[in-house]
Structure 1
Amino acid sequence: MTDQLQWIQTELDTLKDQGLYNHIRTLASPQGPWLVVDGKKALNFCSNNYLGLANHPRLVQAAKEIVDRYGVGPTAVRSIAGTMDIHLELERRLAQFKGVEAAVTFQSGFCANLAVIPALVSKEDVIFSDELNHASIIDGSRLSRARIERFAHANPADLERVIRANAGSYRRGLVITDGVFSMDGDLAPLDEIYAVSSAHDLMLMVDDAHGEGVVGKGGRGIVDHFNLHGKVDVEVGTLSKAFGVVGGVVAGKSVIVEWLRQRGRPFLFSSAVTPPDVAACLAAVDLLEESTDLVDKLWENSRYFKTEMKALGFDTGLSVTPITPIMLGEAPLAQQFSRELYNEGVFAMAIGFPTVPQGKARIRVMISASHSRDDLDYGLQAFAKVGRKLGVIR
């Protein structure tokens, strides 16, 4: 190794010493309630496959059929030769599903945030950002070159304070919050945040990546949950979680969507989402519009698992959604807990710094509608056994 790269090895060794090194496991099966992980069958408590759609027969069939018609790749950016009629159909259907004027899709939810934030604000402007917002919001905000002012997590009163403290010092202002916070599973008080932002004539954006397909009527998202249709300027979402596929979406006011088609850099400079992915996403929308059964089952499973975990003595934090953090404190304990769970046939990864603050390491359990009651009971028994072995519960 050259001297110029030795610092990387030193940093990697430090991560291992601190219990922060991420040992990435390998899957050899479709996503589902059970996986083959590093060659071993294990209960899946890791994936964002909320509704079990990632391997749903209708999505698989839709992807297969469209390959015969359109091939496997668009080979162009959307603004040159990459926009297919199925892209426009998906965007129309997503706008209809979410009850907004228009929608535009991107390669991922991360790309959607990198597209929309720099398109709305720049160095003369300010962003008011929840202190626990997702990394993609942080990166998109930095790329915009706007001044970033953070407000206390899910605290509309502190948002008001920060806005007043910066009054008159910017051209345009944008308030950004996650809808469902991915590490804690808590919900942004979007109705109160809207009241503050509208009172100060600020644009409002919510990243609903973990809310779409989960909260709101039939999974229509946090804006629907709070009945704020037409009031939130921008909803950013992903098609890689509850929808079970891949891609990102920006939905909201038609003028913003049209602006992103002209100035959203991932739209302009990265190839379009592939035809089979688009077809599978359309099939997912069909399923969500036909019935709320999968969303209902997701919440039923979530309530059962949380209730039983609390009865065992585990701390599930602030979660009010199917995201269930098992708070453990220090990263080495969380990693050891994860390894012990794997030995018991449960795949549930540890999450530590920098994804969460120091001292807030956890196992994050992702409940799915595809889990049976027997699956959940199997997982509960494993958590109980490991928790007692490591002294986390009695």
Structure 2
Amino acid sequence: MISPHSSYPIHVNENWIQPHLNQAAANNLTRTATPYPQTGGIIQANGKRILNFSGNDYLNLAHHPHLIDRARTALEQYGTGATASRLVSGTLPLHEELENRLAQNKAYPTALLYGSGYLTSLGTIPHLVNRHDLIFADRLIHACMIDGAQLARAQLIRFQHNDPTDLHRRLQQHPANGHKRLILVESLYSMDGDLAPLPEITQLAAEHNAMLMVDEAHATGIFGPHGAGRVHQLNLSSQTTLTMGTLSKAYGGYGGYIACSPLLRDYLIQTSRSFIYTTAPPPAQLAAALAALDLLQQTPNLGTQLLQRAHQFRQHLQQAGLNTLQSESQIIPIIIGDNQRALSIANALKKQDILVSAIRPPTVPEGTARLRISLTLAHTEADLDRAATALINACTP
């Protein structure tokens, strides 16, 4: 690895880079990738027990013996990779089995796997709409959906966060006029931890004959029967064109998928570039995801347990006067506002062996820098009490 302070020459066509880095540093927006010796909600390092509230292993499955055993078996049977794209020779029985299981779990007829949640958005949105069409997107949708919308080159219309009235107004202002319209929302928002008003949004989609795509990345495994997500929990699968999700959060692995109609699946197999032109997801990850689905089938209350812990933890913070927005989930933001103060608090907590993420623009809007707390089932009641006390002391003037 080349050190930032090495004598490696700067090429003349790279002179534009340093001013951007300097500006980010001046605004306290420099990002770094810090290596840690382990993953999960608890990190054991140098004799210390570090509480990690910055990851997404919500159900503590990434190190579960059942997932590891299934992944190991798949490695021994199929090798380390799929070795080809799905439409060449990369489709394994595991791909089809996992797609069937995901579809069943989500209450859809079919599902289609992608390499990641990000690739799922990039591979679906540009093939649902094009430059003649319209996209109506919640202002706080994830970057992968924004990038998918930009690739589609459709007219992008943003509506106020979780505001069906504003969405209704914008749908009225921008009629279809013979073109397609697509609504993009998350069922659980990753930076605010709040829940979308899905019944109202699905009703508007039906009234205006618009397609609806719901990102369930952070709700899957936590909400709904056997962790199926909020769309299934609210019996809205038949009213939602497609849902997308990831295998990298509650499922403890890696990969992405959509659940949809057979017609849409067939269409995307013919058109979706991030499905067609890339190697298929590796067998070990498929097997691990199948094991996670088995565990959710056998112990369907895992998500409920996590939400109960999150409710108590959030109440503790709120009673101390901390601003947790409208969080109703395992994701709990603490609004700080100033970028430097958010970084300083996160660094102070790190010295106490508590890892939290300082989230700053452009991930969140200007002036809303925050600490983002992600609870997992690895965190005990004593861990949560310790963390709450430390957070309150650090965030209270």
TM-score normalized by the length of structure 1: 0.95
**What is the match of residue 255 of structure 1?**
263
**Conserved in 1, the CA contact under 8 Å of 2:222 and 2:304?**
no
Among 58, 73, 85, the residue aligned to 2:81: 73
CA distances 1:352-379 after superposition (whole Å, capped 9, x unpaired): 0000011100000000122111111121
Give the drift of 1:309. Answer: 1.2
- Report the RMSD for the aligned CA atoms in angstroms: 1.5
Aligned mates of 2:106, 2:366 — CA distance in 1: 37
Mapping of residues 23-62 of structure 1, within 5 Å: 23-29=32-38, 31-36=39-44, 41-62=49-70
Paired letter, 2:143: A
Aligned mates of 1:244, 1:259 — CA distance in 2: 29
Give the drift of 1:269. Answer: 0.5
**Residue 118 (str. 1) matches residue 99 (str. 2):** no
CA distances 1:295-341 after superposition (whole Å, capped 9, x unpaired): 12211211121011112221111111110001100111000010000
Aligned mates of 1:201, 1:38 — CA distance in 2: 58
**Conserved in 1, the CA contact under 8 Å of 2:222 and 2:302?**
no
Aligned mates of 2:46, 2:238 — CA distance in 1: 47
Aligned mates of 1:157, 1:291 — CA distance in 2: 38
**Conserved in 1, the CA contact under 8 Å of 2:311 and 2:328?**
no
Aligned mates of 2:176, 2:101 — CA distance in 1: 40
Aligned mates of 2:61, 2:123 — CA distance in 1: 27
3-state SS in 2 of match to 1:32: coil
Aligned mates of 2:328, 2:265 — CA distance in 1: 31
**Residue 63 (str. 1) matches residue 71 (str. 2):** yes
Aligned mates of 1:317, 1:164 — CA distance in 2: 30
Change (3 A) 1:37 1:144: farther
Aligned mates of 2:113, 2:369 — CA distance in 1: 34
Paired letter, 1:21: T
Paired letter, 1:257: R
Give the drift of 1:256. Answer: 0.9
3-state SS in 2 of match to 1:176: strand
**Residue 358 (str. 1) matches residue 366 (str. 2):** yes
Change (3 A) 1:37 1:164: farther
Mapping of residues 211-226 of structure 1, within 5 Å: 211-226=219-234
**Residue 21 (str. 1) matches residue 30 (str. 2):** yes
Among 340, 350, 356, the residue aligned to 1:348: 356
**What is the match of residue 5 of structure 2?**
none
Where structure 1 has 5 or more consecutive residues not aligned to the other structure, the ranges are none
**Conserved in 1, the CA contact under 8 Å of 2:192 and 2:333?**
yes
**Conserved in 2, the CA contact under 8 Å of 1:28 and 1:38?**
no
Give the drift of 1:385. Answer: 3.0
**What is the match of residue 152 of structure 1?**
160
**What is the match of residue 82 of structure 1?**
90
Change (3 A) 1:310 1:21: same
3-state SS in 1 of match to 2:239: coil
**Conserved in 2, the CA contact under 8 Å of 1:100 and 1:251?**
yes
**Conserved in 1, the CA contact under 8 Å of 2:223 and 2:304?**
no
3-state SS in 1 of match to 2:328: coil
Of the structure 1 ranges 95-104 and 215-224, higher mean CA displacement relative to structure 2 is found in: 215-224
**Residue 129 (str. 1) matches residue 124 (str. 2):** no
Of the structure 1 ranges 31-40 and 15-24, higher mean CA displacement relative to structure 2 is found in: 31-40
Give the drift of 1:387. Answer: 2.5
**What is the match of residue 332 of structure 2?**
324
Aligned mates of 2:210, 2:152 — CA distance in 1: 17
TM-score normalized by the length of structure 2: 0.94
Aligned mates of 1:15, 1:33 — CA distance in 2: 30
**Residue 143 (str. 1) matches residue 145 (str. 2):** no
**Conserved in 1, the CA contact under 8 Å of 2:42 and 2:378?**
no
Paired letter, 2:336: L
Give the drift of 1:68. Answer: 0.7
**What is the match of residue 170 of structure 2?**
162
Aligned mates of 2:106, 2:369 — CA distance in 1: 34
**Residue 233 (str. 1) matches residue 241 (str. 2):** yes
Fraction of identical pairs, as percent: 37
Aligned mates of 2:320, 2:53 — CA distance in 1: 18
3-state SS in 1 of match to 2:222: coil
Paired letter, 1:22: R
Aligned mates of 2:126, 2:275 — CA distance in 1: 13
Give the drift of 1:79. Answer: 0.9
**Residue 10 (str. 1) matches residue 19 (str. 2):** yes
Where structure 2 has 5 or more consecutive residues not aligned to the other structure, the ranges are 1-9
Aligned mates of 1:38, 1:317 — CA distance in 2: 36
How many residue pairs get aligned? The number is: 388
**What is the match of residue 273 of structure 1?**
281
Paired letter, 1:16: A
**What is the match of residue 343 of structure 2?**
335
3-state SS in 2 of match to 1:196: helix
**Residue 206 (str. 1) matches residue 214 (str. 2):** yes
**What is the match of residue 202 of structure 2?**
194
**Conserved in 1, the CA contact under 8 Å of 2:41 and 2:57?**
no
Aligned mates of 2:34, 2:176 — CA distance in 1: 50
